[in-house]
Amino acid sequence: MTNDPPKLNHYSALTGIRAIAAMMIFVYHNRKYWKDDLHPVLFRFCSELNLGVQLFFVLSGFLIAKSYGSTPLQSVENYKHYTIQRIVRIIPLYWLLLTLYYIDPIFGRYHFSVTHYLLLQGFSSTHSLDAIAQSWSLTVEMTFYAFAPLLMLLWQKQLRYVILFLAALLGITLLGGWIWTTYIGNKDCYLSPPDFVIMSTFAGQSLLFAAGMSLAHYPNFWNKIAAIKQTTTIGVVGFILTLYAIGLFQTSRVDHGTNHWQGKLLFFIVVPVFILLLFQGLMTQRTYLQRFLSSKLMVLLGNASFAFYLVHISYVNLKLKSWVFFPDRNFILLWLVSIALYYGFEKPIYSWYKKR
């Protein structure tokens, strides 16, 4: 390993790590099928691999801050372009799969829901896992996109403004959910209960996005950190050990360490630090991991990771299982479908908009 920055035109290793995050989530959702074959310690560790979603959140914070900063706020036209570009990046593929779900007489049975098309179900603890279950995180992501330019503008002023804003956002969200539930009636549990707000909405997860944004906002600081030769190794080992430590707070096989305050502290304070160290190492140091993640295969899988995330459980996965089912739980087949969706649908639409 050397400290020479990788000679790359873009952050290829960060694209590759998206594939790793998607695989983590796949293992997490399928762990129940292997519970009798896995050692209890390994099963406990697999039960925390849903933190692959948080890898996506931190990475998203960095990439949006690095790519746009506060420029969307410089004019109405800039903000319009930024907003449409973010929508085009996420929504078309989601709408395609959601529509296929609704027109399927076995699954959606033509019960179309505007709420789900607008991703509003992600604010409801009752309905956040309806239809395409994993789409709850798209609600979090799109909410971040809405606030990101403002956060970068506040960051250019002072860090304390960012902290105050995020604290106020969480407080207002929790208060709004409580008022809605207590005085109005909230049968669909929007912004309620508090643990749902903290773990499944942008108001609660905003610290992870902010951590990623700090990587773009404080390049001098992180470059000094990267002077440590083992930055990548520290990030990887620290992340794995922290996941293991969070798992120690599980009280049963169906429990999560993040359901307990000790696990939440590790989740919100320690996990982001190691993720940032890992990302900075991948961007500045030539290591075997960096080379692997920058390989053509991993970049391909990273590009297709959003499609894989949307098909690895719920409708598409269940539909595939009804036709064919391989011993790997269709892991390879799902990746092939994802690659086809990326090249046949997701990329052409995004490229078309960029050309316009």
CA atoms within 13 A on the CB side of 310: 22
- What pLDDT, on a 0 to 100 scale, did the predictor assign at position 6? 39
Q: Is 124 helix (H, G, I), strand (E, B) or coil?
A: strand
d(CA 198, CA 181): 17
67-82 pLDDT, tens digit per residue, is 998 899 999 999 999 9
- What pLDDT, on a 0 to 100 scale, did the predictor assign at position 355? 86
Task: Give one word for 313, left, alpha or beta, with left for phi > 0 and alpha for psi -120 to 50.
Answer: beta
175-200 pLDDT, tens digit per residue, is 999 999 999 999 999 999 999 999 99
- What pLDDT, on a 0 to 100 scale, did the predictor assign at position 9? 38
- What pLDDT, on a 0 to 100 scale, did the predictor assign at position 70? 86
Residues of the chain falling short of pLDDT 70: 1-10
- What pLDDT, on a 0 to 100 scale, did the predictor assign at position 10? 52
Residues facing residue 124 across a β-bridge: 190
State how far Cα 24 lies from the chain centre.
12
- What pLDDT, on a 0 to 100 scale, did the predictor assign at position 226? 81
d(CA 262, CA 198): 14
Which two three-digit tokens encode residue 82? 């930024």
